[in-house]
């Protein structure tokens, strides 16, 4: 089963979901804004992606500016807590596969290996 951390208001998220379902994959949709990841889940996903939380943060969001993230100390647990408390800051969509792969599927190229 493939899981998509999805924001239905995001065109890139909708496009990735469409590409996955059109490919015949069985997809579980997680509306991560309504059902944010736990710190443990986000940490696991970051490890699968090979990223740190600041690499997955939408720095252009107003909330990132309000929190002063551009100059914030890069301490992993603190940033994970910030993202969990403010899921709008998490890049989207994130696609997780049953075989343990993960990608931030912001374009068709990122999905290519999964399709």
Per the DSSP assignment, residues forming a β-bridge with 103 are 95
Task: Spot the catalytic one: 1, 6, 8, 10.
Answer: 10
Name the strands in the sheet holding 102-104, side by side, starting at the edge strand that comes first in the sequence: 27-30, 2-5, 94-96, 102-104
Peptide bond into 101 cis (omega under 30): no
Task: Output b/e per residue, 47-76; b: 16+ Cβ within 10 A.
Answer: eebeeebbebbeeeeeebeeeebeeeeeee
Residue with tokens 């998490």: 90
To the query of whether residue 90 is one of the catalytic residues in this protein, the response is no
Q: Which residues are catalytic?
A: 10
């Amino acid at each position: 089963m493939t899981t998509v951390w999805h924001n239905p208001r995001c065109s890139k998220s909708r496009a990735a979901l469409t590409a996955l379902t059109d490919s015949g994959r069985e997809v579980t949709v997680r509306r991560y804004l309504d059902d944010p990841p736990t710190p443990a889940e986000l940490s696991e996903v970051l490890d699968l992606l090979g990223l740190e939380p600041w690499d997955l943060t939408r720095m252009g969001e107003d909330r990132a500016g309000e929190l002063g993230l551009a100059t914030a100390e890069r301490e992993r647990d603190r940033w994970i807590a910030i993202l969990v408390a403010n899921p709008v800051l998490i890049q989207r969509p994130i696609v997780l596969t049953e075989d343990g792969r993960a990608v931030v599927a912001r374009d068709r190229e990122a999905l290519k290996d999964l399709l």
